[in-house]
Amino acid sequence: MLEVRPCTNDDFADFVRIQIAAFNTGITSLLKPPETVESVEKGIQKHIKSAESEADVTYLKVVDTGLGDKMIAGAKWRINEKERTEEQIQSMLPVPGEEEKDRPAAQDFMNYLYRVRKQYMGTKPFAFLHMLVVDPAHQRRGAGALLVKWGLDLADKAQLPSFLEASDAGKKLYTSLGYEPVAVETFDLSKYDSNLSGLESNTAMMRNAVQLQR
């Protein structure tokens, strides 16, 4: 049986493990530095800091009770019911820095994220699915849908629009839950790595709140 539960700090090692496994192909494989003990620990601490210091952030996990509560998926939601300031939205707007200086794919992808998040959400009240990761060994079991629906239930209750960025693989799920594309960015993988070829798209998607019956 699959259950959605809040993440604790002890869960972020598994969260990062799943994140690495889920983002190991195409453009997403080029977004992070090579995997080392140090880079993994840095990723864990980054999630812990976000969970502890950003009031709008909720981290969730899906566990399989039949596997001893093994974590098989995770999500990071940002729920903002009020207008924010430009300063307050900076934590959701990625800007390439020193770590990305030698990784043009990361620079281009972060610039795309900055642009669509600023254009379609900006400072307005929003429910934002910042991250969704599913263990490749447990895909197509409904874990991702459970995590998306958690945020959409809150969005509908608060009458908030919802925003996310979807890989080609994730678009079908998000479309089935009511999201619609608002912008598409296409990346030529061969531009970044001679061992890769083809085009890969990422789609900014939005869903308006569903009016709940009283």
Give the residue from 175, 34, 202 showing the smallest Cα distance to 111. 202
Question: Coil, helix or strand for 213?
Answer: coil
- pLDDT tens digits along 130-184: 999 999 999 999 999 999 999 999 999 999 999 999 999 999 999 999 999 999 9
Mean pLDDT of all residues belonging to the chain:
94
pLDDT of residue 214: 61
Beta partners for residue 166, in sequence order: 203
Per the DSSP assignment, residues forming a β-bridge with 199 are: 188
Q: How many CB atoms neighbour CB 66 within 10 A?
A: 9
The CATH architecture that domain 2-207 belongs to is: 3-Layer(aba) Sandwich (3.40)
Smallest CA-to-CA distance from 53 within 81, 82, 91 is with 91
